[in-house]
Chains A and B, each alone.
Chain A
Amino acid sequence: MAISEVDVRAHAKWIGTPVKRKEDPRLITGQGCYVDDVKLPGMFHCALLRSPHAHARIKRVDLSKAKAYPGVALTLTGEELAQATNSLPSVFSLGNKPAPFADYPMAVGKVRYVGEPVAAVVAADRYIAEDALDLIEVEYDPLPAVTDVEEAIKPGAPLLFEEMGTNVTWHGTYSYGDPDKAFAEADRIIKRRLYFHRYSSTPLETFGGIAHFERATGMLTIRSNHQIPAMIHPFMAYCLRIPGNKLRMVIGDIGGGFGIKCAVYANLMIIGHLSMRLGRPVKWIEDRREHLLASAHGTERTGYVEVAVKNDGTILGVKMKTYDNDGGYMRFPEPVGVILWSHVVQSCYRFRNILMDCHAVVTNKCPVTPNRGYGRMQHQFFLERMMNIIGRELKIDPVEIRLKNFIRPDEFPYEATNGSLYDSGDYPATLQKALELIGGYEHWREEQKKSRAEGRYLGIGVVTIMDSGASNLGEMSMIDPDIRSSTAGEAAAIRIDATGSVTVALGTVPQGQSHETVSAQIVADELGLSPDEVTVLTGFDSATHPYCGSSGTYASRYAGTATGALKGAAQKLRDRIFKIAAHFLEARFEDLELSGGRVFVRGVPQKGMALRDIAAISLYNPAALPAGVEPGLEASCNYNYPKANQMDEKFRANYASTYANVAHAIVVELDVETGQFKILKYSVVHDAGNLINPKVADGQIHGGFAHSLGATLYEEFVYNEDGQLLTSTFMDYLCPKATEIPQMEIGHLCSPSPFTPYGTKGMGEGSGPIPALIGNAVEDALTPLGVEVLGSNLSPQNIMAMIWKAKGREPAK
């Protein structure tokens, strides 16, 4: 089915259409406004001195020479910052409990990862600030570092926080169904230790911010490229010891985020404080090395996975013992990432007996934060690898074992064992479609037979997952049941001014997700206009835009939340417009129609009023309005997903809102001499319900695939035993280029969500299982050698290591 054939909304004119983006004219002409493009009068520049050690006590910091350097306005140490601010709130402290350790944006007493900020310099320009950094003398007392998560949990391991007495900062077990019974009834229990490596989506724009404190008003305005400014607003006000109404968060264009920019706030605290000291704007822009070294990484996870199966391939239950390597600090929203797979605990399958045994561990690596596929891609790697391993052990084909265990199309809406409400889907159809798009499964199995006879190594891989969207932040309740959350929402405001034109503001902060365009499409449909006639404000301003408790752009939330907010606000306006028009036209409310900037009586287009006339009446002549109609034509809606709920005492909740479904299929040919492979065919089929803008949806699929392919083949934050990052530039942390991306066959199915206003679902993180997809294909290709893939990074050297191991040979030196 081609995208254009997908049934969107029978009556929608713009929703479902590949409208050209409203964002593009400014971005293709160099007129975007990213944070580093903003220049304020009297602005200073900040640079950070970073730790060269992974773990060390700070004995002495001498800033005297830096202070005396011409052009330097102010210096700051971690100790000074800690005295002047409150420590960063964390999930540990949100339930009104003392945090197990204090966390400040700069090192206090000790450094815990290479690149941790130790001191800051503010100067007339960045060059001078960096000159002055060179003049700071720091005396360190190096301590043994621990980087491996399983070393870090051993007794006697170096402790990051001595006061805790352990590096395990959090541990939780959750049992759903009856795992012990399932394991007792199993024909077999299949166990593996699997490893998901550390990487990041490395947005091309690094972290940055400008803090501007005005002494006369006491107002601190922080411009940045933060992904969750509304959510983090109360944290920052608390840290900086200012009232919320004296902190204004402003976001303009953002040069990519992918989750990683949820972590910007710790740096914003530093410049916020510096600007408050100086009464002048202070800009800080991270450089690339700083970003790779010390911004934030995606989570690395080691998992001990046990699966209870029947000999016919039926999966009865899963036990997962996991250890997340969270790096030097546990910053919000960690340790949520450890259990975020609660969204998709069963993935696409029917097994309901699950034991989650999850550990968050600190080590001397960079702290972690959400990254595209947050918390779920690790689970997807484990589960989708296990599906193949189980299939192999039971001699059941990987496609067949998935089909056997899928939740059936007639079971939706399906309540998962942990209370998550899977909205809709047809998982077998998605997988079948993906196989069709690679040219047929049987065909490739035949080709594989032939190629093996020729001594070639062809491999076929499939994976099937759920791409959940819009969490209710209820995962925080799993960490601490005293934290109550059920916010899966967004807010929007729409104004029709006296000229009859429409302006929209949202609580979202898009980083490429095209919200200006898709919001205009929705509002255009609701108010009978064209998207060109709707202005959607770029970015976000906490002082003027509406927002809710979970506002922001993360966790694929727009399609499940902002759509509702826009519809809610537009419906309020429609109602008011129709009431006014009914009054003036002496017509019945229900006979009216809104189209082409006019309200008119259905079937009698000449009997109508222009939107601008209604706006003018409501603005300038309120006395003429019918009784009970509010003056002005502006309305807002603070929307919460109707199926969002609080966690119950059994740790059950609907942890996400929408549950899109994705199947990937791939054919590779492997070179066993080099460990490299060619992708011969790749297909991906998404079912995200109705698509608001198919072009935008496809763009998300393309980009997600490239991220995950890069992660599988090239990208890894490699540390040595001392905790030094070995891949800290784009020369050794290798992002894929245009020459590395194969052709993709994209398909869409459409199972509309019954719970969202337009049947849409969040999407954009469905590429999470690409490491498992390629792992499945590589293992399949190497069947003759008996290789088993247990890790997510499949670089040529890792593949060669597996081949050598299978052949009983040591790697060549």
Chain B
Amino acid sequence: MAKRYPVRVKVNGVEYERSVEGRRLLSDFLREDLELTGTHVGCEHGACGACTALLNGQSILSCLALAVQVDGAEILTVEGVADEAKLHPIQEAFWENHALQCGFCTPGMILSALALLKENPRPTEEEIRVGISGHICRCTGYVNIVKAIQTAAEKMAETSQTKGTVQNV
């Protein structure tokens, strides 16, 4: 039996404790051990962005990380983006703008958009394109994804102005 290591991690606000083999990928850990199947695996070599999650607020490719590396960390996956039943403005904008077709790249794309808008709340179109350039989408030609992120940025800026707070990401 291969040696197992304890992993304690908070995902979408919930604490989990599991023991895993050293070689277990974070993407497999999320999908199989925690049954959070919203994180998708598209290439397993860090080239498509589908498995993107946020690790302590920073976007990472969960197929290039090991589960043991996230011990003690906080992770956000697509399942944790909406506030209970209320969609996040980025999700709303994806829906409104027809920014997805098959939906397979969408969770990763949403998390990168979240990370991008946290760092740069009013990105230009070019900055959005560069911001999601680690992702492959084979359905949309990115046209409506870019539009959705622009729309979300505007909405989030309005909200933070009226509320005087920064949108919680």
Q: Which residues of A sit under 8 angstroms from B146, Cβ to Cβ?
A: 738
Whether the pair A256, B141 counts as a contact (CB closer than 8 A) is no
Q: Which residues of chain A from 712 to 759 have any CB-CB distance to chain B below 8 Å in the complex?
A: 729-731, 735, 737-739, 741, 744
Q: Give the distance in Å from the alpha carbon of A705 to the alpha carbon of B101 in the complex.
A: 15
Given contacts A24-B94, A204-B138, A288-B45, contact A738 B132 (CB under 8 A): yes
Whether the pair B79, A255 counts as a contact (CB closer than 8 A) is no
The answer, yes or no, to whether A651 is at the interface (CB within 8 Å) is no
Q: Which residues of chain B from 79 to 135 have any CB-CB distance to chain A below 8 Å in the complex?
A: 79, 81-82, 87, 91, 94-96, 98, 100-107, 110, 128-130, 132-135
Contact of B104 among A255, A730, A731 (CB under 8 A): A255
Q: Determine how close the nearest CB of chain A comes to the CB of B88; give it in whole angstroms.
A: 9
Q: Give the distance in Å from the alpha carbon of A201 to the alpha carbon of B50 in the complex.
A: 16
Q: Taking CB as reference atom, which chain B residue is nearest A253?
A: B103
Q: Give the distance in Å from the alpha carbon of A127 to the alpha carbon of B139 in the complex.
A: 31
Whether the pair B48, A738 counts as a contact (CB closer than 8 A) is no
Q: Which residues of B sit under 8 angstroms from A24, Cβ to Cβ?
A: 94-95, 100, 103
Whether the pair B140, A28 counts as a contact (CB closer than 8 A) is no
The answer, yes or no, to whether A148 is at the interface (CB within 8 Å) is no
Q: Determine how close the nearest CB of chain B comes to the CB of A711; give it in whole angstroms.
A: 12
Interface size for A (C-beta < 8 A) is 56
Q: Which residues of chain B from 17 to 65 have any CB-CB distance to chain A below 8 Å in the complex?
A: 21, 23-24, 31-32, 35-45, 47-48, 50
The answer, yes or no, to whether A703 is at the interface (CB within 8 Å) is yes
The answer, yes or no, to whether A83 is at the interface (CB within 8 Å) is no
The answer, yes or no, to whether B169 is at the interface (CB within 8 Å) is no
Q: Give the distance in Å from the alpha carbon of A696 to the alpha carbon of B36 in the complex.
A: 29
Q: Give the distance in Å from the alpha carbon of A695 to the alpha carbon of B95 in the complex.
A: 11
The answer, yes or no, to whether B137 is at the interface (CB within 8 Å) is yes
The answer, yes or no, to whether B73 is at the interface (CB within 8 Å) is no
Q: Mark A262-293, 1 if CB is under 8 A from B, else 0.
A: 00000000000000000000000001110000
Contact of A204 among B45, B48, B78, B110 (CB under 8 A): B48
Whether the pair A737, B42 counts as a contact (CB closer than 8 A) is no
Q: Give the distance in Å from the alpha carbon of A573 to the alpha carbon of B152 in the complex.
A: 42
Q: Give the distance in Å from the alpha carbon of A331 to the alpha carbon of B50 in the complex.
A: 30
Q: Which residues of B sit under 8 angstroms from A730, Cβ to Cβ?
A: 43, 45, 47-48, 136
Q: Which residues of A sit under 8 angstroms from B87, Cβ to Cβ?
A: 25, 28-29
Contact of B105 among A30, A204, A206 (CB under 8 A): A204
Number of A-B contacts (CB under 8 A): 173
Q: Give the distance in Å from the alpha carbon of A598 to the alpha carbon of B31 in the complex.
A: 45
The answer, yes or no, to whether B145 is at the interface (CB within 8 Å) is yes
The answer, yes or no, to whether B144 is at the interface (CB within 8 Å) is yes
Q: Taking CB as reference atom, which chain A residue is nearest B110?
A: A28
Q: Taking CB as reference atom, which chain A residue is nearest B2?
A: A127
Q: Taking CB as reference atom, which chain A residue is nearest B136?
A: A735
Q: Which residues of A sit under 8 angstroms from B43, Cβ to Cβ?
A: 288, 729-730
Whether the pair A30, B39 counts as a contact (CB closer than 8 A) is yes
Given contacts A37-B37, A738-B146, A744-B143, contact A703 B135 (CB under 8 A): no
Q: Which residues of chain A from 750 to 804 have any CB-CB distance to chain B below 8 Å in the complex?
A: none
Q: Which residues of B sit under 8 angstroms from A23, Cβ to Cβ?
A: 103
Q: Give the distance in Å from the alpha carbon of A705 to the alpha carbon of B103 in the complex.
A: 18
Whether the pair B144, A702 counts as a contact (CB closer than 8 A) is yes
Whether the pair B110, A512 counts as a contact (CB closer than 8 A) is no
Q: Which residues of A sit under 8 angstroms from B24, Cβ to Cβ?
A: 127
Whether the pair A28, B91 counts as a contact (CB closer than 8 A) is yes
Q: Give the distance in Å from the alpha carbon of A20 to the alpha carbon of B107 in the complex.
A: 18
The answer, yes or no, to whether A34 is at the interface (CB within 8 Å) is yes
The answer, yes or no, to whether A464 is at the interface (CB within 8 Å) is no
Given contacts A127-B23, A288-B42, contact A702 B141 (CB under 8 A): yes
Q: Which residues of B sit under 8 angstroms from A39, Cβ to Cβ?
A: 32, 35
Whether the pair B145, A738 counts as a contact (CB closer than 8 A) is yes
Interface size for chain B: under 10, 10 to 19, 20 to 34, or 35 or more residues? 35 or more
Q: Determine how close the nearest CB of chain B comes to the CB of A679; give it in whole angstroms.
A: 13
The answer, yes or no, to whether A205 is at the interface (CB within 8 Å) is yes
Q: Mark A174-203, 1 if CB is under 8 A from B, else 0.
A: 000000000000000000000000000111
The answer, yes or no, to whether B150 is at the interface (CB within 8 Å) is no
Given contacts A23-B103, A29-B91, contact A255 B140 (CB under 8 A): no
Q: Which residues of chain B from 129 to 169 have any CB-CB distance to chain A below 8 Å in the complex?
A: 129-130, 132-146
Q: Give the distance in Å from the alpha carbon of A577 to the alpha carbon of B18 in the complex.
A: 57
Question: Interface on chain A toward B: helix, strand, loop, or mixed SS?
Answer: loop
Q: Taking CB as reference atom, which chain A residue is nearest B137?
A: A204
Q: Give the distance in Å from the alpha carbon of A20 to the alpha carbon of B128 in the complex.
A: 23
Whether the pair B100, A28 counts as a contact (CB closer than 8 A) is yes
Whether the pair A737, B133 counts as a contact (CB closer than 8 A) is yes
The answer, yes or no, to whether A671 is at the interface (CB within 8 Å) is no
Whether the pair B142, A20 counts as a contact (CB closer than 8 A) is no
Q: Which residues of A sit under 8 angstroms from B36, Cβ to Cβ?
A: 30
Q: Which residues of A sit under 8 angstroms from B106, Cβ to Cβ?
A: 27-28
Q: Determine how close the nearest CB of chain B comes to the CB of A513; give it in whole angstroms.
A: 7
Q: Give the distance in Å from the alpha carbon of A272 to the alpha carbon of B43 in the complex.
A: 25
Whether the pair A256, B79 counts as a contact (CB closer than 8 A) is no
Q: Give the distance in Å from the alpha carbon of A583 to the alpha carbon of B135 in the complex.
A: 60
Whether the pair B138, A201 counts as a contact (CB closer than 8 A) is yes
Q: Which residues of B sit under 8 angstroms from A254, Cβ to Cβ?
A: 102
Whether the pair A28, B44 counts as a contact (CB closer than 8 A) is no
Contact of A20 among B35, B44, B95 (CB under 8 A): B95
Whether the pair A729, B39 counts as a contact (CB closer than 8 A) is no
Given contacts A256-B139, A705-B141, A738-B133, contact A34 B95 (CB under 8 A): no
Given contacts A20-B95, A127-B23, A203-B102, contact A30 B77 (CB under 8 A): yes
Whether the pair A706, B144 counts as a contact (CB closer than 8 A) is no
The answer, yes or no, to whether A675 is at the interface (CB within 8 Å) is no
Q: Which residues of B sit under 8 angstroms from A127, Cβ to Cβ?
A: 21, 23-24
Q: Give the distance in Å from the alpha carbon of A24 to the alpha carbon of B87 in the complex.
A: 11
Q: Which residues of A sit under 8 angstroms from B79, Cβ to Cβ?
A: 29-31
Contact of B135 among A20, A25, A699, A737 (CB under 8 A): A737
Q: Taking CB as reference atom, which chain A residue is nearest B81?
A: A29
Q: Taking CB as reference atom, which chain B residue is nearest A694?
A: B98
Q: Determine how close the nearest CB of chain A comes to the CB of B148; give it in whole angstroms.
A: 10
Q: Taking CB as reference atom, which chain A residue is nearest B103?
A: A27
Whether the pair B96, A20 counts as a contact (CB closer than 8 A) is yes
Q: Which residues of A sit under 8 angstroms from B37, Cβ to Cβ?
A: 30, 33-34, 36-37
The answer, yes or no, to whether A707 is at the interface (CB within 8 Å) is yes
Q: Taking CB as reference atom, which chain B residue is nearest A70?
A: B1
Q: Give the distance in Å from the alpha carbon of A330 to the alpha carbon of B101 in the complex.
A: 31
Q: Which residues of chain A from 15 to 51 have any CB-CB distance to chain B below 8 Å in the complex?
A: 18, 20-21, 23-25, 27-34, 36-37, 39
Whether the pair B47, A731 counts as a contact (CB closer than 8 A) is yes
The answer, yes or no, to whether A169 is at the interface (CB within 8 Å) is no
Q: Give the distance in Å from the alpha carbon of A37 to the alpha carbon of B40 in the complex.
A: 9
Q: Give the distance in Å from the alpha carbon of A729 to the alpha carbon of B43 in the complex.
A: 8
Q: Which residues of chain A from 198 to 221 have any CB-CB distance to chain B below 8 Å in the complex?
A: 201-206
Whether the pair A513, B101 counts as a contact (CB closer than 8 A) is yes
Q: Give the distance in Å from the alpha carbon of A696 to the alpha carbon of B35 in the complex.
A: 31
Whether the pair B41, A703 counts as a contact (CB closer than 8 A) is no
Q: Determine how close the nearest CB of chain A comes to the CB of B61; give it in whole angstroms.
A: 12
Q: Give the distance in Å from the alpha carbon of A18 to the alpha carbon of B144 in the complex.
A: 14
Q: Which residues of A sit under 8 angstroms from B23, Cβ to Cβ?
A: 127
Whether the pair A741, B45 counts as a contact (CB closer than 8 A) is no
Most buried by A among B39, B95, B102, B142: B102
Q: Determine how close the nearest CB of chain A comes to the CB of B107; give it in whole angstroms.
A: 5
Most buried by A among B41, B45, B50, B138: B138
Given contacts A24-B95, A34-B40, contact A512 B103 (CB under 8 A): yes
Most buried by B among A29, A696, A707: A29
Q: Give the distance in Å from the alpha carbon of A255 to the alpha carbon of B143 in the complex.
A: 18
Whether the pair B141, A36 counts as a contact (CB closer than 8 A) is no
Q: Mark A680-710, 1 if CB is under 8 A from B, else 0.
A: 0000000000000001101100111111000
Q: Taking CB as reference atom, which chain A residue is nearest B98?
A: A695
The 3 lowest CB-CB distance pairs between A and B, nearest first, are A30-B38, A255-B104, A512-B101
Known: A20-B98, A30-B37, A34-B37. 5 other contacts (CB 8 A): A25-B87, A36-B37, A37-B37, A729-B47, A738-B146
**Listed A/B pairs (10) with beta-carbon separation below 8 Å:** A30-B107, A32-B104, A33-B37, A39-B32, A203-B102, A205-B104, A288-B43, A699-B139, A707-B138, A741-B141
